[in-house]
Amino acid sequence: MELFIVIIIIYGILIWTYFNPEESLLWGKRGMYKEEPQLTESAIRNTKVKALISIIVITLIIIIYIITQILN
């Protein structure tokens, strides 16, 4: 049950990162800059791709785990 809660939290963070890559890149770092830093399009695209791949991999791991539990 604890693992399920952790996975939901991770999914939430990854979905937030996918839809708001600028905010997630600057999360916890805004105080380091006097002005808003400019993020490159490649950094934003890279963040979105990493979040999407992570969501897919975690989903596949969960599906494989459920299938192995059913077959045993």
Write b or e for each residue in 29-64: b if 16 or more Cβ atoms lie within 10 A of its Cβ, otherwise e: eeeeeeeeeeeeeeeeeebbeebeebbeeeeeeeee
46 falls within a domain: yes
pLDDT value of position 19: 97
Is 61 a domain residue?
Answer: yes
Place 3 in a pLDDT band, splitting at 50, 70 and 90: confident
Q: What is the pLDDT of residues 10-41, one digit of tens each?
A: 999 999 999 999 989 888 776 777 777 888 99
Asked, for residue 29, whether it belongs to a domain, the answer is no
Q: Does residue 51 lie within any of the structural domains?
A: yes
Give percent of the chain above pLDDT 70: 96
Does any domain span residue 27? no
**Whole-number pLDDT of residue 39:** 86
For helices 2-19 and 41-71, give the axis angle rounded to 10 degrees. Answer: 150
Give the DSSP H or E segment for 3.
helix 2-19
How many domains in the chain?
A: 1
Question: pTM above the 0.85 mark?
Answer: no
Per the document, the length of the chain is 72
